[in-house]
């Protein structure tokens, strides 16, 4: 219970702080990318500076005077490109299982493997729409069927890098048992691409059963350069499903690890309870080997 409380505090009380530009002298020969407190940005060279104001000659050949007080960050162009590459490598818009309101970019391709059983490959068809293809062939070894599914996902930015709306689903078929399954979701994601929290609504259905409606709360939060805390939680009046753990980054791949917690009840009776280790892997199919 204590561990669960710690996770909830870490993930639900995520802060998004502001920092002022450092009071240092900038090199006039270097191209800088400047991010303001209102999240507008521009690139340019420094032509004059003092302790209060910096004057830039922007890439659009305009002269712009900015008070240091209104600057959130100043990066060289190389620093900015490295940070963007790290963000793409780190995070492709997913939690341990489901997507956030962020999607793949056009041309990006990513593969996900969950628990060494469920495999998915996603293709970014444009900046707002991606399509995934999935399978679980290892289930044949335990006579549990052969699952194949397709996963369309749409992402709509409401406020760029702050609020995103996502909608998507999975439609699958078990070729062995000739059954059809479906899942649909919508979510609102608050925060940046690699630091955010999502609230989602999910509906699950199969051929034989009535739809099941689930509420979800998920979050990802960086604690080091290549380490993130991860929480993904779904619940209704009869069940809870959570993955709590961490994410470690490598070059063009990531590994999620932690614990899967599942509780299910039937009317007033306690039903199934599971506590299992969780392992997930993803890698960038665009990367050059």
**Average pLDDT, integer, range 94-120:** 89
Least confident of 66-75, 104-113, 173-182: 173-182
Note whether 61 and 141 are same-domain residues: no
Least confident of 8-12, 107-111, 209-213: 8-12
> pLDDT-based confidence at 26, cuts 50/70/90?
confident
**Which of 61, 85, 109 is a domain's end point?**
85
Kindly state whether residue 21 falls inside one of the protein's structural domains.
no
- Asked if residues 119 and 136 have their Cβ atoms less than 8 Å apart, the reply is yes
**Residue 59: domain span:** 32-85
pLDDT greater at residue 216 or residue 32: 216
Q: Is the pLDDT of residue 12 over 60?
A: no
Q: What percent of the chain has pLDDT over 70?
A: 79
Note whether 173 and 274 are same-domain residues: yes
Note whether 97 and 111 are same-domain residues: yes
Note whether 64 and 102 are same-domain residues: no
Q: What DSSP designation does 69 have?
A: G
* Cα Dmax for the chain: 73
Extract the tokens encoding 107: 């041309």
Kindly state whether residue 8 falls inside one of the protein's structural domains.
no
Q: How many domains does the chain divide into?
A: 2
Kindly state whether residue 71 falls inside one of the protein's structural domains.
yes
Note whether 178 and 238 are same-domain residues: yes
Note whether 152 and 265 are same-domain residues: yes
CB atoms within 10 A of CB 232: 27
Phi/psi at 9 (nearest 5 deg)? -65, -45
Phi/psi at 274 (nearest 5 deg)? -135, 140
Rounded to whole angstroms, how far apart are CA atoms 151 and 247? 23
Q: Is the pLDDT of residue 85 over 80?
A: no
Residue-averaged pLDDT of the chain = 80
136 three-state secondary structure: strand
Which pLDDT score, from 0 to 100, does residue 208 have? 63
HSE-up of residue 122 (Cα within 13 Å, Cβ side):
30
What CATH number does residue 253 fall under? 2.40.160.40
User: Distance from first CA to last CA of the chain, Å, rounded?
Assistant: 44
Which pLDDT score, from 0 to 100, does residue 140 have? 60
By residue count, the chain amounts to 289
> pLDDT-based confidence at 192, cuts 50/70/90?
confident
Kindly state whether residue 114 falls inside one of the protein's structural domains.
yes
Kindly state whether residue 270 falls inside one of the protein's structural domains.
yes
Q: Is the pLDDT of residue 96 over 60?
A: yes
Torsion of CA 159, 168, 90, 76, to 10 degrees: -30
Q: Is the pLDDT of residue 19 over 90?
A: no
Kindly state whether residue 17 falls inside one of the protein's structural domains.
no
Kindly state whether residue 206 falls inside one of the protein's structural domains.
yes
Extract the tokens encoding 59: 């890439």
Note whether 115 and 227 are same-domain residues: yes
13 three-state secondary structure: coil
Tell which residue, 24, 23, 44, has the closest CA to residue 34: 44
Note whether 119 and 195 are same-domain residues: yes
Which pLDDT score, from 0 to 100, does residue 18 have? 35
Tell which residue, 20, 195, 169, has the closest CA to residue 99: 169
pLDDT greater at residue 178 or residue 66: 66
Q: Is the pLDDT of residue 57 over 60?
A: yes
Distances in whole angstroms, Cα of residue 219 to Cα of each of 90, 100, 112: 15, 9, 18
Rounded to whole angstroms, how far apart are CA atoms 76 and 35? 11
- Asked if residues 249 and 89 have their Cβ atoms less than 8 Å apart, the reply is yes
Write the Ramachandran bin of 51: left for phi over 0, alpha for psi from -120 to 50, otherwise beta.
alpha
Q: Is the pLDDT of residue 92 over 80?
A: no
Extract the tokens encoding 180: 């059809």
Rounded to whole angstroms, how far apart are CA atoms 234 and 84? 31
Note whether 80 and 96 are same-domain residues: no
Note whether 178 and 237 are same-domain residues: yes
Kindly state whether residue 10 falls inside one of the protein's structural domains.
no
Which pLDDT score, from 0 to 100, does residue 251 have? 78
What CATH number does residue 80 fall under? 2.30.30
Q: What percent of the chain has pLDDT over 90?
A: 31
pLDDT greater at residue 196 or residue 174: 196
pLDDT in tens, 224-268: 878 899 999 999 888 898 999 999 988 788 999 999 998 876 555
Which pLDDT score, from 0 to 100, does residue 133 have? 95
Rg (alpha carbons) of the chain, rounded to whole number: 22
Q: Is the pLDDT of residue 22 over 60?
A: no
Note whether 76 and 136 are same-domain residues: no
Note whether 71 and 167 are same-domain residues: no
């Amino acid at each position: 219970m204590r561990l669960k409380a710690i996770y909830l505090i870490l993930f639900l009380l995520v802060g998004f702080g502001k920092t002022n530009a450092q009071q240092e002298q900038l090199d006039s020969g270097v191209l800088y990318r400047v991010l303001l407190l209102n999240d507008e940005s521009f690139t340019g060279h420094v032509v004059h500076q003092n302790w209060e104001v910096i004057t830039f000659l922007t890439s659009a050949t305009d002269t712009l005077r900015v008070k240091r007080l209104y600057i959130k960050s100043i990066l060289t162009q190389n620093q900015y490109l490295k940070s963007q590459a790290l963000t793409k490598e780190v995070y492709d818009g997913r939690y341990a299982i489901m997507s956030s309101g962020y999607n793949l970019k056009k041309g990006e391709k990513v593969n996900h493997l969950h628990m060494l059983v469920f495999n998915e490959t996603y293709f970014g068809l444009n900046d707002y729409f991606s399509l995934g293809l999935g399978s679980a062939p290892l289930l044949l070894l335990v006579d549990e069927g052969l699952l194949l599914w397709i996963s369309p996902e749409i992402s709509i930015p409401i406020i760029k890098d702050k609020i995103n709306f996502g909608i998507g689903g999975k439609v699958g078929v078990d070729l062995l048992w000739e059954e059809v399954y479906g899942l649909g979701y919508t979510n609102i994601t608050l925060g940046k691409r690699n630091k955010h929290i999502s609230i989602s609504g999910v509906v699950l259905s199969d051929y034989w059963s009535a739809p099941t409606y689930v509420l979800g709360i998920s979050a990802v939060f960086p604690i080091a350069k290549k380490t993130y805390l991860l929480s993904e939680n779904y619940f209704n009046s009869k069940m809870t499903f959570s993955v709590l753990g961490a994410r470690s980054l490598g070059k063009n791949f990531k590994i999620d690890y932690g614990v899967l917690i599942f509780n299910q009840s039937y009317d007033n009776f306690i039903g199934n309870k599971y506590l299992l280790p969780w392992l997930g892997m993803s890698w960038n199919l665009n990367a050059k080997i």
